Structure 1
Amino acid sequence: MSNSPDRLYELLPVVYRIRDAEQGYSLRDLLRVIAEQVDVIETDITQLYENWFIETCQDWVVPYIGDLIGYQSVHSSGELTNALADETQQNNKILIPRREVANTIRYRRRKGTLALLEVLADKVSGWPARVVEFHQLLSKTQHINHLNSSSSTTVNLRQVDAVAKLNSPFDELAHTVDIHQISSQHQPGKYNIQNVGLFVWRLKAYSVTLAPAFCLEEVSSNCYTFSITGNDIPLYTSPHLSKDATEIAHELNLPIPIQRQVLQESKKDYYDSNPNPESFTKSLSIWKGVDSKPHPVSPDKIIIADLSDWNYQPEQDHIAVDPELGRMIFPLRQLPKNGVWVSYHYGFSADIGGGEYDRTLLDSAAHFLFDVGDIQEPAIFSSQQDASALSRFLRSQFSATTQRLLDAYTSPPPEPALIAALLPELNQLLLGESLYEEQRFASITLSAETKSLVQQNLQGKELIRCNRLLLEEAFPSQIRKHYAYYSVSQTSQECYQTISEAISQWQRDKPHDAVIEIIDSGVYVERINIELEKNQSLQLRAANHKRPVIRILDWRTAFGDALNVTVESGSCFVLDGLLIIGRGVHIEGNPSQFADYPTSVVQNPAAIIIRHSTLVPGWSLHCDCEPRRSTEPSLELFNINACVTIAHSILGSIQVNQNEVETDPLPIHISDSIIDATSIEGEAIGAAGYSIAHARLTIARCTVFGQIQVHAIDLAENSIFNGVIFVVRRQQGCIRFCYVMPNSRTPRRYNCQPDLVEQMVRQETELQPEQIEAEQLIASDRVQPQFNSTRYGTPTYCQLASTCAEEIKRGADDESEMGAFHNLYQPQREANLRIRLDEYTPADIEIGIIYAT
């Protein structure tokens, strides 16, 4: 199939095309529109064939193919609805995994094997697993005539490795019998003849590649942590698939914390000494600076030790490493003066905050048409004799009125009437195909990208972009750049070495849209001040699969330090994929933007976007993950005319300081994020020195630690508010399927906790009136969310505990869990896995799912 937009037009006889050319190509334009619809139909016909196969079919077809082979979907954890809805398609991927449907027949042939249970856990739920037959770990009194060989042994306290694995998925010691059923919800047992345990790991192992280590100077100059935030963090195994599909998973195949004894015995399996950082494939690696360049430390120079008290002193030319705490100590007489870099893996639940995971980058250039301020010198359209061929051509395309205004122009700045006349005619020129001609651009040096574009048959947005690039390269000092890209790296000489250098160049170029991309996972310690003009956008982002760190220090004694951004009306600022420590982000508006209030506020607000980023709660951490500055905000919004969007991020408290008289409440949209004020009494969203923040909040699938004090909440859903909410306008907005702390002042609530359990208590007819209040208090305490950890920096941060009430773990509108990890659909994964285990497990076996993390 040809991709040419004129393929239908070219099928016409030549006589009709000649007549069409004489009439301005109206027939060609009509056939181009028809050709677009023909392409849509042909693509759909092609996809019909692809939909016959599970590997290539569309998502909505997967349930139908599953029905053909007798695949049973899990309706107990959410009914399937309209398959065209985006949220339902995402839910269907959990309830009906494509890879399980593809392998259903293969699994049926392997029914009853242990290795199949591990494969099911991975393919059905996405959780890596290890299966354990507990009857092999039973301590038996054997008959002398009927000996039963067993690999389990009684406890030998000299076997440090075996004792360390006690009651773990890798236990090797013998146990007495436990008569409780493994599937019991109240008191499950393990060690019995018919019991089989499936240990699953819900935390993922995320990589950090060639990042500077943190020198903990408050302890000693030779003490370092792997984590750049200075906290203890257990190092995780980078899991590798087993070569044998029938083999039970071992430590190297699972994302588990690395134990000291295991690392000591299998150092070569975990430690990577490859000199090329890009080929980092194992679990951890340490690099020392030699001539200011990182060189890997040999594994025989690594000493595995317990560094809990920082008192260990390693030998000369060696480094002491504690993988359970993420610490290392150098000899006092051999301090790493040229730097220390580390590559390692840490554990976390989901792709939230800054990290080296795969994420979609935002499109930075939405349009390419000329706007006010793009034409800096109209003299390029002059009719002088020495004007270039391109200038003369451009002038010939203008109307007589525009030409008269050009003739009257003498010196900058140009009159507004001239710019108003030029812009629509130049934009009309960008839409056409008549701009480029080889003779017009013979004396102009074009970039390789532009040369490639002019050779193609472009249409639509790509044609406009090509024409814009032609004019920008022909008149670089007279026409403002529309788009610019600046790469930053501390290791590449072809990039800017600091973010400040890239910002300085961006300020000189003054493009409409720009991207400053950091292409490594280094630490950038510098002052950053960004001032955006009207209708100007800037992305400060990390490259995909990178996690750079911006560390802001106390540079000035008499002033506060932060990452400062000033926005104007219509501007856009994006933080993407970054980890910011040391200070917060301060975003301020220009006071002049409210001069024509309310017109400018309503028609041309700025945009602030924070996505896949971490603004460390409390600015920085102690070794035990306690915040150093627990009361300081991570994000300050000061008198901005903007819409603030936060997605897939981790932030400390947010302070909003708006002019309540001259501005409307600031709209803030938060989704799939964690807002952590480090305590439930702190202000998660508020205003310093005021009772409420002048803001309107829309929040979905978030976990909030701390109080929320805002003007209004337009919508809150599937979220956990672990702090009191105070809203001024209760008659506006709605809160649905959320946990709301008692004594909160909110808009109307629908299916929220603890409202539902308190309502159930009131409906109990046998209770006396004096008993209702006491029972409601008990019920309210029972459904209060419980977390494995509430401190940023720990692997189980914000993960709901196993003891958390089912009303929270299945309390969302689609029966998933409330909070920031809603989109993991863990209840659906578990329900799906239990159904499959019952289907593929022999009748005399009791199997249970045990959460290892």
Structure 2
Amino acid sequence: MHNRPPVPLIELLPQHLRNRDASEGRALEALMGILAGELAVVERDLDQLYDNWFIESCEPWVIPYLGALIGARPMRSFGAGEVGLRSYIANTLSYRQAKGTAAALEQIARDVTGWPVVAVEFFQKLIWSQHVNHVRPDAPGTASVRDAEAARQSEGAFSAACHSAAAGPADGASGRYAIPHVGLFIWRLDAFPLGFVSNAAAGYVGGLVPRASAIGLGFRHFDPLGADRTLFNRPKADRSVAGRVDIRMVPAPLDRRLLHRDLNRLRDGRPSGWFDEAPVLRIRLGGAEVPPERLHSCNLETRDDGGGNPTWRRPAQAGHVLFDPELGRLALHASDEGKAVETSCAFAAPFAIGGGPYDRSASFAAWREEIFVDGAPAPWVIGVSARAQDQTDDVLQGGVVVASLAEAIVRWNAASNAGTRGLILMLDNGSYAQDLGDAAHIVKIPPGARLAIAAMAWPTVERAGGVIERDLRSLAPMYRRPHIRGDLRIRGAAPGAGQEAGRLILDGVLVEGEVAILAGALGSLDLRHCTIGASAAGLTKGLRVISQNGALAVVVDHSIAGSLALGPAGGGLRVADSIIGEDRDLQADPDLLAVVVDAPSADVDFARSTIFGRTAVRSIEAENSLFLGTARAAQRQRGCMRFSYAPLTSRVPRRYRCQPDMTIAEAEQAAAPSSLSDAEKRRLARSVTPIFTASAFPASAFGQLALAAPDAVAAGAFGGAEMGAGFGAGTPFRRANLTDMLDEYLPFGLVAAPLFQT
């Protein structure tokens, strides 16, 4: 109803009045145009008022009011949790009808937390004599010691094994299997699929390119960086409130044994659970997709070939592929080594940062007007695709698209002038290994120029006469994360009188090398949803300003970077919803960590970010952030640190509700009039030190606070949210919603416990 066309009021008047108005300067037409605009506002308001009667179409502010009408318990919003809470309100009446069932518990838990949840009634998993009228063939009294697959799943949500009765807390390993206990198995990590990209007119566009191992071309890693990363399930949608959640609906790590058995069933002509209409893994070899019957799940651990050389297992037949989902590896037959390989799979991460297949429309909207200016000519645009079928210079046949980022940079440098607005669109998930370090491939930004290098779909539209055009109005920043294997070098030209400095935007790309700003006068650099300086060994590089560029302003938003070395750049640095650095050695002394933010000339603003290392800046503003290393600001009379964690040895401006300061202040108040010793203060500070599930890149849970993290950090940000890059995830609110839900929907006499799997 919101697309109702505007009413041209002038056309409702008699023709003779319109003719007379036209002869007298169209004053009446102008008046009717103003009235039509106001009428459109009223009609839109009426349409929205009507839509607000329905939970499916109402505005977010209406959701709690509709919930109050049916007596739904108020729940806390979490990040982008409006969709989940909308489902919670919409399904409340259905949940009440099914109250007390395991299906209702797991479905409502999913709605109020946004996490996949599987409810297991542990009394159903106890060994007990079965009645002949209630035979449970899937619940044997004893487990087979020969079934390794069943043994690995025995403590999981989908285990068929039965246990003897236990006593103890429901969330403890020893007391889980008791009669009144219910377990809610929860997966906190999200699965982000990177796969085959297609376009309606152009067909297949490209897929993820696995990295060749140092052993040889026949041995590859699914991760384009070459790291051993576990593959995760691509969850299927849960389309039924009454149905139960199965293993294909949760973002769990893939099990090589499960896939091995499933592929064997498929080869025997039986239906597949993992390689059905939505296969969990796909591989293209030499331009053609490998059928599931030729895929083999196995253990590809490195072993000795008998001559002291490392090797993996290899397929015995050409055209067959061995893969290991737990190590993220695949192996080819010797005759297939030279063929192109592309994959479709899913990796896991705790947050939607660092680039990936998720929707980046909000990021695109933040800089779109810099490139597309109303009333100005269309920007200079070029696409980049590794597929020869897409590459063309003919704009009437899907161009201009080139084969590499290197060629796109050369063309930009040749075409750009002062004030030029340009787009380099990377259209696939390919890896670009061209050397960008020489003078010809330095990205040059003339004065006043604006250039964006972004991972984005640039759809083709087929016109009459076989003309294929690319539509700039339908750019889609999702499903893509191209990989740049080298360094990216940028040089901004000094502006003349009356000119502005140039600007560069990187959005949605993975840069394995460093982003280096060469001597010049670049005005601003935006790193949005990017991963900078990543490699199989970790975050080894980052952003580096080599010299000059004194007025450079840098924005790092929803990104991951190894380090930020701004040198003389003094235009300001803003880091938001990002992770900088890593901690591979679990260094306990914050004064000994590496410097990961070095901006001695810049005023820095941190928001909702995690900094794994030391920080040295001119002045600092920080909110809801975690500084694992010592933070030092040269000017402490400016700025403020709010709702953040920073080690006691940090030299920062005034702190407001920060840790460990609050914990120490509360202890001093409780001990008054006595005072705490320095040793006691250090002990209290250690008690609120953040604990992470993983602090080294590229672990799946990199940057995620552990469940054992102290509440002062896990719920110490503004409004009770989590400090650091997980601020927007809303974990404390999700867990609180889960507790409230159990109070209302858990059957009387039962005890439930959340059992986090990731």
Report how far residue 761 of structure 1 moved.
1.3
| Structure 2 residues not aligned, in runs of 5+ | 196-206, 268-275, 304-310, 392-397, 457-476, 495-499, 585-589
Contact 1:60 1:89 in 2 (8 A): no
Contact 1:710 1:726 in 2 (8 A): yes
Report how far residue 225 of structure 1 moved.
0.5
Give the 3 Å change call, closer, same or farther, for CA 270–242 of structure 1 in structure 2. Answer: farther
Q: Which residue of 2 aligns with 1:418?
A: none
Report how far residue 323 of structure 1 moved.
0.9
Q: Which residue of 2 aligns with 1:590?
A: 520
Give the 3 Å change call, closer, same or farther, for CA 144–842 of structure 1 in structure 2. Answer: closer
Report how far residue 249 of structure 1 moved.
2.4
Q: Which residue of 1 aligns with 2:165?
A: 177
Candidates 306, 311, 323, aligned match of 1:321: 323
Contact 1:214 1:230 in 2 (8 A): yes
Identity %: 28
Candidates 166, 170, 180, aligned match of 2:154: 166
Q: Deviations over 1:77-96 (max 9, x none)?
A: 6xxxxxxxxxx8967728x8
Q: Which residue of 2 aligns with 1:129?
A: 117
Q: Which residue of 1 aligns with 2:525?
A: 608
The one-letter code of the counterpart of 2:556 is: I
Contact 1:263 1:270 in 2 (8 A): no
Contact 1:270 1:282 in 2 (8 A): no
Matched, 1:502 2:408: yes
The one-letter code of the counterpart of 2:506 is: L
Give the 3 Å change call, closer, same or farther, for CA 70–500 of structure 1 in structure 2. Answer: same
The one-letter code of the counterpart of 1:540 is: I
What are the equivalent positions in structure 2 for 1:452-471 lying under 5 Å apart?
461=374, 465=375
Give the 3 Å change call, closer, same or farther, for CA 760–212 of structure 1 in structure 2. Answer: same
Candidates 230, 246, 250, aligned match of 1:254: 250
Structure 1 SS opposite 2:382? strand
Matched, 1:580 2:485: no
Matched, 1:538 2:451: yes
| Structure 1 residues not aligned, in runs of 5+ | 78-87, 272-278, 370-460, 469-480, 554-560, 594-605, 660-664, 688-692
Give the 3 Å change call, closer, same or farther, for CA 32–147 of structure 1 in structure 2. Answer: closer
* TM-score, reference length from structure 2: 0.82
Q: Deviations over 1:29-57 (max 9, x none)?
A: 56544543332222112211111111111
CA distance in structure 1 between the partners assigned to 2:216 and 2:449 by the alignment: 46
Give the 3 Å change call, closer, same or farther, for CA 5–130 of structure 1 in structure 2. Answer: closer
Contact 1:132 1:197 in 2 (8 A): yes
Candidates 208, 213, 217, aligned match of 2:210: 213
Q: Which residue of 1 aligns with 2:738?
A: 833
CA distance in structure 1 between the partners assigned to 2:244 and 2:625 by the alignment: 38
Structure 1 SS opposite 2:48? helix
Q: Deviations over 1:282-333 (max 9, x none)?
A: 21122222xxxx22223333333222224443324243321101012234x4
Candidates 364, 368, 371, aligned match of 1:364: 368
CA distance in structure 1 between the partners assigned to 2:257 and 2:17 by the alignment: 85
What are the equivalent positions in structure 2 for 1:255-294 lying under 5 Å apart?
255-267=251-263, 281-289=278-286, 294=287
Which structure: larger Rg? 1
Contact 2:192 2:357 in 1 (8 A): yes
Q: Which residue of 2 aligns with 1:276?
A: none
CA distance in structure 2 between the partners assigned to 1:651 and 1:28 by the alignment: 57
CA distance in structure 1 between the partners assigned to 2:131 and 2:126 by the alignment: 17
Matched, 1:756 2:756: no
Q: Which residue of 2 aligns with 1:400?
A: none
CA distance in structure 1 between the partners assigned to 2:501 and 2:117 by the alignment: 50
Matched, 1:549 2:482: yes
Matched, 1:667 2:576: no
What are the equivalent positions in structure 2 for 1:781-796 lying under 5 Å apart?
781-796=686-701
CA distance in structure 1 between the partners assigned to 2:294 and 2:105 by the alignment: 41
CA distance in structure 2 between the partners assigned to 1:216 and 1:743 by the alignment: 43
Q: Which residue of 2 aligns with 1:391?
A: none
Q: Deviations over 1:626-664 (max 9, x none)?
A: 45xx4x4344364332322121111110011217xxxxx
Structure 2 SS opposite 1:514? strand
Q: Which residue of 1 aligns with 2:302?
A: 309
Report how far residue 121 of structure 1 moved.
2.1
Structure 1 SS opposite 2:119? strand
Give the 3 Å change call, closer, same or farther, for CA 574–368 of structure 1 in structure 2. Answer: closer
Report how far residue 68 of structure 1 moved.
0.8
* TM-score, reference length from structure 1: 0.73
The one-letter code of the counterpart of 1:563 is: R
CA distance in structure 2 between the partners assigned to 1:144 and 1:72 by the alignment: 40
Contact 1:761 1:772 in 2 (8 A): no
Q: Which residue of 1 aligns with 2:46?
A: 45
Structure 2 SS opposite 1:211? coil
Matched, 1:621 2:536: yes
Structure 1 SS opposite 2:368? coil
Give the 3 Å change call, closer, same or farther, for CA 530–768 of structure 1 in structure 2. Answer: same
Q: Which residue of 2 aligns with 1:636?
A: 545
Contact 2:263 2:296 in 1 (8 A): no
Contact 2:166 2:174 in 1 (8 A): no
Report how far residue 710 of structure 1 moved.
0.4
Contact 2:300 2:313 in 1 (8 A): no
CA distance in structure 2 between the partners assigned to 1:748 and 1:32 by the alignment: 56
Structure 1 SS opposite 2:354? coil
Contact 1:609 1:645 in 2 (8 A): yes
Q: Deviations over 1:818-843 (max 9, x none)?
A: 11121111111121122122211210
Query: Over aligned residue pairs, what C-alpha RMSD do you find?
Result: 3.2
Matched, 1:808 2:734: no
Q: Which residue of 2 aligns with 1:349?
A: 350
Matched, 1:485 2:381: yes
Q: Which residue of 2 aligns with 1:563?
A: 489
Matched, 1:646 2:556: yes
Contact 1:288 1:336 in 2 (8 A): no
Structure 1 SS opposite 2:55? coil
Matched, 1:36 2:37: yes
Q: Which residue of 2 aligns with 1:737?
A: 643
Report how far residue 669 of structure 1 moved.
1.3
Matched, 1:700 2:597: no
Q: Deviations over 1:361-413 (max 9, x none)?
A: 235345888xxxxxxxxxxxxxxxxxxxxxxxxxxxxxxxxxxxxxxxxxxxx
CA distance in structure 2 between the partners assigned to 1:91 and 1:801 by the alignment: 21
CA distance in structure 1 between the partners assigned to 2:30 and 2:266 by the alignment: 63
What are the equivalent positions in structure 2 for 1:197-212 lying under 5 Å apart?
197-209=183-195, 210-212=207-209
Give the 3 Å change call, closer, same or farther, for CA 280–708 of structure 1 in structure 2. Answer: farther
Structure 2 SS opposite 1:212? coil
Report how far residue 540 of structure 1 moved.
0.6
Give the 3 Å change call, closer, same or farther, for CA 33–588 of structure 1 in structure 2. Answer: farther
Candidates 106, 111, 121, aligned match of 2:99: 111
The one-letter code of the counterpart of 1:295 is: A
CA distance in structure 2 between the partners assigned to 1:223 and 1:798 by the alignment: 30
Q: Which residue of 2 aligns with 1:728?
A: 634
Matched, 1:93 2:82: yes
What are the equivalent positions in structure 2 for 1:22-33 lying under 5 Å apart?
22=24, 29=30, 32-33=33-34
The one-letter code of the counterpart of 1:56 is: S
CA distance in structure 2 between the partners assigned to 1:643 and 1:165 by the alignment: 52
Give the 3 Å change call, closer, same or farther, for CA 637–823 of structure 1 in structure 2. Answer: farther
Q: Which residue of 1 aligns with 2:596?
A: 684
CA distance in structure 2 between the partners assigned to 1:727 and 1:608 by the alignment: 23
The one-letter code of the counterpart of 2:564 is: I
Report how far residue 486 of structure 1 moved.
1.7
CA distance in structure 2 between the partners assigned to 1:325 and 1:166 by the alignment: 22
Candidates 157, 182, 186, aligned match of 1:196: 182
Structure 2 SS opposite 1:222? strand
